[in-house]
């Protein structure tokens, strides 16, 4: 244990299981202390660089240009510096004993003086491949160390409120050999997930392939399901050999600096699973052995190589559960909004909305209704007992950019107000800090990390691949406009009016404002709210979705609503406009005022349309107000009521200019699932064949009708693997929350790249 800070968590766990006889790729560690000594040797006139070993490097990360400039300067200094020759010789001498041509240098980190781990650093710190010679080793070490000072990395540590001095950055050096297949095994108490791809694991970690996926019952080892992936690309080392059981490959690209070769996989192996049954059983057997060492929850990365015509499995990485870290106890739920936060718990045992919530707390509550939104601005994380990934708690948390864990059973019973918690929205885990620091009930310093940096800044990569599919952002909160307008998006795909309006309604339904003679005041406020969004995104389009009140979800407004009987579905969407046209007419007037203010980038999305007659009613109102006099204006409908699958041609004839698929409601209505039922939504989600079939049908019908088809539910953000299919089917735009923009952009780019590669291969044949 005392060596953990020197060698980092990755090397520590691998060493631990290697000592117990497991097949681990051998390796040694260049300790964190070596990096500190190296930084001290850099003779620089730059005070920033000279002070680096002792500096916490507290930059103004909101100043993006300054951050990029400092990061670039630091990395230049590191790459230009000379490594002491005795260090390089020592590393080379140790590596030479393996008699290998190639090495992999991997970051292995730990954090001092804090109970929290380093979090998920994939995308921040990547392994470096190099030849086994002194020049390559010297360059490789500097390249991997310099990653710690990338802009995105510096931003990450600042967001986690971890001083660079406390980051112990060691380097794990291992020999590289070719693999027939590589992948991961994710284990939990109920089910295992195995992913596999051809060749080295590079294609998988870079997200360039969709792996084969196997779902395995933990107790029996029975494979419950298997799904063939999309494995167009594979990697191997250019060592002049090919194992007899490797798939035939066509060379594409060789990196002369690393010896790494990217290949297009031939057509026949693409149709095959990367793990033949004996190899699959090898992985399952290894998992069963590891349960005794690591417990029921862990992840291992593995590779299978051909040694003297015998398949040999080796472990390349182990991720042990966070619960092994001292002072933490685990509560498990569903990770619904990304990020990690440490703060004081505030428990509410009622579904009744409270009058006030303290600032900066973790809110623990049975469930959350949308009208809690104004209160939610105060909290730093949400934990709910009920709800799934598309529940209101999940959606509101993603809107506000705060971590959330939903379906956390007994959370309100197990946690007490005032306890210190660590909420991990990525893993869906809540940790109680046993040694609570909140002695007098005051809020302590909050350690927060927003996993997707793009929520606060433009995408971290300066060179983005071009994408043809439009990427849009979902918004409702004016507080997120400034952060979101610089994202690489083509506009706002969904402006949720009812959540936007909650900020100005003072707890009263708009109908009450009209009855009390405040129509003009409400119209001005409403108009200004919309202008805030369209001005920020001009000339990019803003798709404003008109009000979709569900009064069982807005209990604080229900008592001031028009006196019509409310049901879960009856008062939703455009049908309510027919019953009470005054509110819809006021809303359209607000949109007209936005146009009159000089903005032509506004589009209107009608929610929950059940029939062509409802659409026609709304269309007449739109025309009467005069919105169609601006040529760029378009009237779209949400495709979320299943009847649209049968009526779309009729809607188009009636004048629908485009559709936006709302996967949340479409899934609920097709499968009979309530979004608040977390246990049910674990089993039945948007990836269900019926839902995916409906989405495919809608895209095809829109194509046939010559109208654009967008998708703005949570599905693409929650399950980025379906983006491949959406792009292949011909979706014209995808709209997601701000925190999901970066990963969705990359997923779209990869999907389009695969389509281009597949088309090129067909042409060659």
Q: Left if phi > 0, otherwise alpha if psi is -120 to 50, otherwise beta: which for 192?
A: beta
Rounded to the nearest angstrom, the gap between the alpha carbon of residue 640 and the centroid of all alpha carbons in its chain is: 24
Domain boundaries, the chain: 4-175, 181-319, 328-451, 467-764
Handedness of CA 234, 237, 239, 242 (dihedral sign): negative
Q: Left if phi > 0, otherwise alpha if psi is -120 to 50, otherwise beta: which for 573?
A: left
pLDDT of amino acid 267:
83
d(CA 164, CA 372): 38
pLDDT of amino acid 556:
53
DSSP 53: G
Residue with tokens 């967008």: 710
Predicted confidence (pLDDT) per residue in 338-378, tens digit: 888 889 999 998 888 888 899 999 999 999 988 888 888 89
Fold of 181-319: D-amino Acid Aminotransferase; Chain A, domain 1 (3.30.470)
Predicted confidence (pLDDT) per residue in 525-534, tens digit: 999 999 999 9
Predicted confidence (pLDDT) per residue in 98-112, tens digit: 999 999 999 998 887
- Confidence at 611, pLDDT banded by 50, 70, 90: very high
Is 290 in contact with 319 (CB distance < 8 Å)? no
Is 315 in contact with 300 (CB distance < 8 Å)? yes
**Across 653-660, average pLDDT:** 98
Q: Please give the CATH architecture assigned to the domain spanning 328-451.
A: 3-Layer(bba) Sandwich (3.50)
- 677 C-beta neighbours (distance < 10 Å), count: 17
Is 551 in contact with 561 (CB distance < 8 Å)? yes
pLDDT of amino acid 428:
86
Predicted confidence (pLDDT) per residue in 564-578, tens digit: 555 556 578 999 899
Model pTM score: 0.57
pLDDT of amino acid 454:
33
pLDDT of amino acid 734:
97
pLDDT of amino acid 67:
79
pLDDT of amino acid 444:
34
Mutual angle of helices 134-146 and 64-80, in 10-degree steps: 160
Look at residue 186 and tell me whether its pLDDT is greater than 50: yes
Helix (H, G, I), strand (E, B) or coil at 519: helix
Predicted confidence (pLDDT) per residue in 681-732, tens digit: 556 678 889 999 999 999 999 999 999 999 997 888 888 889 999 999 999 9
The CATH class given to the 4-175 domain equals alpha beta
Looking at every residue in the chain, the average pLDDT score rounds to: 84
Residue in 698, 719, 592 with CA at minimum distance from that of residue 652: 698
Look at residue 1 and tell me whether its pLDDT is greater than 80: no
d(CA 462, CA 394): 31
Look at residue 247 and tell me whether its pLDDT is greater than 70: no
Look at residue 252 and tell me whether its pLDDT is greater than 90: no
d(CA 504, CA 502): 5
Percent of the chain with pLDDT over 70: 84
More confident residue, 432 or 627: 627
pLDDT of amino acid 61:
64
Residue in 145, 137, 146, 149 with CA at minimum distance from that of residue 174: 137
State both tokens at 167: 């980051």
- 366 C-beta neighbours (distance < 10 Å), count: 15
The CA radius of gyration of the chain, in Å to the nearest whole number, is 28
Look at residue 447 and tell me whether its pLDDT is greater than 50: no
Of 157-166, 619-628, 691-700, the range with the lowest mean pLDDT is: 157-166
pLDDT of amino acid 461:
44
- Confidence at 450, pLDDT banded by 50, 70, 90: very low
For the purposes of burial, counting CB atoms within 10 Å of the CB of 248, is it exposed (0-12), middle (13-18) or buried (19 or more)? exposed
For 256, 498, 667, the CA distances from 551, given in Å and listed in that order, are 63, 11, 20
- 565 C-beta neighbours (distance < 10 Å), count: 7
Helix (H, G, I), strand (E, B) or coil at 715: helix
State both tokens at 574: 């455009």
pLDDT of amino acid 249:
52
Question: What residue ranges in 57-187 does DSSP mark as E strands?
Answer: 102-111, 128-131, 167-175, 181-187
Residues ≥6 apart with Cβ < 8 Å to 712: 472, 474, 493, 494, 543, 660, 661, 662, 735, 736
Angle formed at CA 694 by CA 693 and CA 698, multiple of 5 degrees: 120
Predicted confidence (pLDDT) per residue in 527-555, tens digit: 999 999 999 999 999 999 999 876 545 55
Residue in 503, 476, 489, 495 with CA at minimum distance from that of residue 396: 476
More confident residue, 596 or 152: 596
- Confidence at 740, pLDDT banded by 50, 70, 90: confident
Q: Please give the CATH architecture assigned to the domain spanning 467-764.
A: Alpha-Beta Barrel (3.20)
Rounded to the nearest angstrom, the gap between the alpha carbon of residue 84 and the centroid of all alpha carbons in its chain is: 41
**Across 462-491, average pLDDT:** 88
């Amino acid at each position: 244990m005392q060596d953990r800070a020197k060698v980092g968590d990755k090397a520590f766990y691998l060493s631990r299981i290697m000592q117990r006889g497991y097949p681990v790729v051998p390796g040694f560690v260049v300790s964190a202390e070596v990096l500190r000594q190296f930084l001290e040797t850099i003779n620089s006139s730059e005070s920033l660089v000279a002070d680096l070993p002792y500096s916490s490097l507290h930059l103004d990360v909101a100043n993006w240009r300054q951050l990029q400039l400092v990061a670039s300067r630091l990395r230049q200094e590191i790459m230009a510096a000379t490594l002491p020759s005795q260090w390089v010789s020592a590393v080379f001498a140790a590596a030479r004993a393996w008699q290998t041509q190639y090495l992999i240098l991997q970051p292995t980190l730990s954090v001092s003086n804090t109970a929290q781990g380093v979090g998920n650093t994939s995308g921040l710190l990547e392994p470096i491949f190099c030849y086994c010679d002194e020049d390559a080793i010297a360059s490789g070490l500097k390249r991997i160390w310099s990653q710690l000072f990338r802009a995105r990395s510096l931003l990450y540590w600042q967001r986690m409120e971890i001083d660079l001095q406390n980051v112990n950055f060691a380097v794990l050096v291992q020999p590289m050999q070719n693999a027939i297949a590589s992948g991961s095994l994710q284990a939990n108490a109920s089910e295992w997930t195995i992913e596999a791809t051809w060749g080295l694991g590079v294609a998988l970690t870079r997200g360039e392939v969709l792996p084969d996926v196997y779902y395995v019952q933990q107790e029996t080892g029975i494979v419950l399901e298997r799904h063939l992936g999309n494995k167009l690309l594979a990697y191997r080392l250019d060592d002049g050999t090919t194992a007899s059981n490797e798939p035939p490959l066509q060379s594409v690209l060789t990196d002369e600096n690393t010896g790494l070769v990217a290949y297009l996989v031939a057509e026949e192996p693409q149709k095959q699973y990367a793990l033949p049954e004996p190899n699959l059983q090898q992985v399952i057997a290894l998992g069963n052995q590891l349960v005794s060492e690591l417990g029921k929850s862990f992840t291992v990365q593995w590779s299978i190589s051909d040694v003297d015509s015998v398949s040999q499995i080796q472990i390349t990485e182990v991720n042990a559960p966070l619960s092994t870290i001292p002072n933490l106890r685990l509560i498990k739920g569903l990770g619904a909004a990304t990020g990690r936060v440490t703060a004081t718990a505030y428990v509410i045992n009622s579904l009744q909305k409270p009058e006030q919530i303290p600032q900066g707390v973790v809110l623990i509550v049975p469930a959350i209704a949308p009208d809690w939104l104004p209160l939610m601005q105060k909290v730093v994380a949400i934990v709910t007992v009920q709800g799934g990934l598309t529940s209101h708690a999940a959606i509101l948390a993603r809107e506000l950019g705060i971590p959330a864990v939903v379906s956390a059973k007994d959370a309100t019973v197990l946690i007490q107000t005032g306890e210190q918690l660590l909420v991990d929205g990525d893993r869906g885990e809540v940790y109680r800090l046993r040694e609570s620091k909140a002695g007098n009930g005051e809020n302590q310093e909050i350690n927060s990390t927003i996993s997707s940096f793009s929520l606060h800044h433009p995408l971290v990569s300066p060179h983005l691949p071009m994408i043809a599919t439009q990427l849009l952002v979902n918004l409702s909160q004016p507080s997120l406009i400034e952060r979101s307008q610089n994202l690489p998006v083509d506009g706002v795909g969904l402006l949720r009016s009812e959540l936007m309006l909650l900020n100005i309604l003072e707890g009263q339904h708009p109908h009450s404002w009209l009855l009390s003679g405040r129509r003009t005041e409400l119209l001005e406020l409403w108009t200004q709210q919309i202008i805030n969004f369209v001005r920020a995104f001009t000339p990019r389009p803003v798709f404003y979705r008109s009000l979709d009140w569900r009064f069982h979800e807005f209990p604080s407004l229900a008592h001031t609503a028009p006196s019509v009987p409310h049901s879960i579905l009856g008062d939703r969407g455009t049908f309510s406009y027919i019953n009470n046209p005054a509110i819809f007419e006021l809303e359209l007037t607000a949109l007209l005022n936005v146009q009159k203010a000089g903005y032509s980038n506004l589009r209107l999305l009608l929610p929950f349309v059940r029939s062509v007659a409802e659409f026609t009613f709304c269309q007449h109102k739109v025309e009467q107000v005069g919105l169609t006099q601006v040529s760029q204006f378009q009237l779209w409908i949400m495709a979320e009521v299943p009847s649209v699958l049968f009526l779309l041609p009729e809607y188009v004839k009636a004048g629908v200019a485009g559709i936006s698929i709302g996967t949340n409601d479409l899934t609920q209505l097709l499968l009979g699932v309530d979004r608040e039922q977390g246990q049910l939504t674990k089993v039945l989600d948007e990836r269900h064949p019926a839902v995916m079939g409906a989405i495919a049908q809608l895209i095809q019908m829109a194509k046939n009708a010559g109208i654009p088809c967008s998708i703005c539910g949570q599905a693409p953000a929650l399950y980025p693997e379906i983006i491949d299919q959406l792009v292949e089917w011909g979706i014209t735009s995808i709209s997601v929350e701000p925190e999901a923009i970066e990963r969705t952009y990359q997923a779209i780019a990869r999907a389009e790249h695969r389509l281009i590669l597949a088309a090129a291969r067909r042409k060659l044949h």
